Amino acid sequence: CSTRARGCNLGSFEPLRGPFCFFPWAGRELNSSDFQLLLNPGAFEALRWVPASFGRVPPGAVEGCPLSDLFVGRSPAGLGKLSKEHQALF
């Protein structure tokens, strides 16, 4: 999920926890009821995970928020947001 709460943040949507986007902020988990979900109905787009590091954004990366440097990322710890500015995945 993507929310404009506290600027723009990427998080997770878990229906069993309620109608919220849960996102990390300053070492805590916050939530927002104002969010968007990225959907791929009918698996129209073939998405795949590709290696990246040090803020490098591969071509075709999924942008988390319009006009931002945040992209959807994944590490062994789970999903997160990739920041070109901070050269890190959170």
Give domain status of residue 16, yes or no: yes
The total of structural domains in the chain comes to: 1
Residue 72 belongs to domain spanning: 2-38+50-89
Helix/strand/coil for 2: strand
pLDDT digit string (tens) for the chain, length 90 residues: 999 898 888 889 999 999 999 998 898 999 999 999 988 888 777 888 998 888 788 888 888 887 778 888 888 888 888 888 888 888
**85 domain-assigned:** yes
How many angstroms separate the CA atoms of 52 and 32, rounded?
29
Residue 43 lies in a domain: no
Q: Which of 89, 53, 87 is nearest to 73 (CA)?
A: 89
Backbone angles phi, psi at 69, to 5 degrees: -105, 20
- Residue 44 inside a domain? The answer is no
